[in-house]
């Protein structure tokens, strides 16, 4: 039955996670091009999804840090993002263009 609500906990297993993440990255770039002072907040709807996001950030960290400041939330405190650290959420801000 269709309810019109979005369920962000559904697992489709259709193999499109890289495509979805690439779309999110494109949207973040487009948004921060228009609103460069904005902060982008992200967290997964589950602990395992947040871990998936952390892995994606880690795998692309060198490229990300060229354009963004990146932070992770751990135990209620925002810290500069580091590899191999489990975070609860993430914050990114576009670096000033020089």
Residue 27 pLDDT > 80: yes
Domain membership of residue 92 (yes or no) is yes
Total domains in the fold of the chain: 1
- How far is 50 from 47, CA to CA, in rounded Å? 5
The partner residues of 7 in beta bridges, in order of sequence, read: none
Domain that holds residue 47: 39-98
- The answer on pLDDT for 29 being more than 80 is yes
Asked whether residue 44 is domain-assigned, the answer is yes
Residue 67 lies in a domain: yes
User: Token pair 């992200």 is at which residue?
Assistant: 42
Identify the three-state secondary structure at position 53. helix
**Can you spell out the DSSP letters for 41-61?**
EE--SSHHHHHHHHHHHHHTH
Identify whether 32 is part of a domain.
no
Instruction: Evaluate whether residue 80 is within a structural domain.
Output: yes
With cut-offs at 50, 70 and 90, classify the pLDDT of residue 66: very high
* Cross-strand bridge partners of residue 80: 71
Q: Given this model, what pLDDT does residue 11 score? A: 62
Residue 29 lies in a domain: no
H or E stretch covering 77? strand 77-80
Q: Average pLDDT, whole number, for the chain?
A: 87
Residue 14 lies in a domain: no
Q: pTM for the full model?
A: 0.81
């Amino acid at each position: 039955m269709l309810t019109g609500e979005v369920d962000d906990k559904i697992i489709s297993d259709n193999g499109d996670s890289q495509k979805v993440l690439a779309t999110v990255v494109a949207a973040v770039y487009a948004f921060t091009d228009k609103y460069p002072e904005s902060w982008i907040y992200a967290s997964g709807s589950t602990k395992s999804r947040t871990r998936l996001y952390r892995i994606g950030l880690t795998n692309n960290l060198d490229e990300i840090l060229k354009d963004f400041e990146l932070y992770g939330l751990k135990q209620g405190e925002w810290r500069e993002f580091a590899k191999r650290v489990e975070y609860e959420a993430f914050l990114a801000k576009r670096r000033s263009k020089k």
